[in-house]
Amino acid sequence: MRLSTASIGAIFLLCAPAFAQNSFSTDPVSNSKGVLPNFDIENIKPVLDELGVQSRIGTLPDGERFLNASHESGLNFVLHPRDCRAGTSNCLSLISFAFYSTDEAHPHNPQTVSAFNAHTAAVGTFIDSDGDAVINRFDLASYGVTRGTLSDTVIMFVDLGIEFYHTLYSSDQTVAVEGDESDLAANYLNARTLISMTQSSAAGGVVSIDYDETYAPIADLKASGAVRINKIRNVAAE
């Protein structure tokens, strides 16, 4: 379990004080071996509460529910139960994601995002159609999940979300916008192509997975205007 954010240099931490490293304890939740039967909101929210993560329930027009969460570091993220077998309950999968804004003056560097994606197996990162960066994770509870495992999942996602923020924040200083073969980030691009070609499109248990489909609700939630986007502002580049 990762409990600290990898440092990218004091200058970027000073320029972006809102995104500090996380402050979770080493044993953050009670009854850590207790089994949650699914990823229903009623099961997720108490774990977030114990972690000190603020959250509120949101609802899409079709009735699907999600949690808008905010960590004290400044990271805003969403937990979206999916694959629900009884309306909005008995949800057997969970998508976690966070948005990072962009603007015309400082667009996100695709190589930076691809490089982060290539060397971080626990999450995926991409740039959406609006030019905003997204970090996301997919988890299963086909046969239940312990409270401790869910806690560790959230801790890891927050930790990597903060790290991704600092990576984006510093990209103007480390990688050329257009890039070239000598860029460190470019070394990962071929590897990502291979990984995408060999990914399985199904998993064991009772949950059927379409990996491409997991991105659709992310776009829908963003379009709803109901989720908060993390703003990236590179002071050093202005």
Q: What mean pLDDT, rounded, does the chain reach?
A: 75
Query: For the residues of 112-140, what is the DSSP string, one character each?
Result: HHHHHHHH-TT-EEEE-TTS-EEEEEEEE
pLDDT band for position 13 (cuts 50, 70, 90)? very low
**According to the model, what pLDDT value does residue 214 have?**
54
Question: What CATH number is attached to the domain comprising 154?
Answer: 3.30.1460.10
d(CA 73, CA 35): 29
CA nearest neighbour of 53 among 139, 124, 157: 157
Say which range, 4-18, 177-191, 223-237, has the weakest mean pLDDT. 4-18
Long-range contacts of 173-177 (CB under 8 A, 24+ apart): 173/236, 173/237, 174/112, 175/109, 175/111, 175/112, 175/115, 177/107, 177/109
pLDDT band for position 174 (cuts 50, 70, 90)? low
151-162 tens-digit pLDDT: 999 999 999 999
Range of 100's domain? 10-237
Backbone angles phi, psi at 114, to 5 degrees: -65, -40
102-126 tens-digit pLDDT: 877 778 889 999 988 888 888 999 9
pTM: 0.69
Q: Are 155 and 77 in contact (CB under 8 A)?
A: no
2 within a domain of the structure (yes/no): no
Handedness of CA 216, 219, 220, 226 (dihedral sign): positive
pLDDT band for position 170 (cuts 50, 70, 90)? confident
19 within a domain of the structure (yes/no): yes
Provide the number of structural domains found in the chain: 1
1 within a domain of the structure (yes/no): no
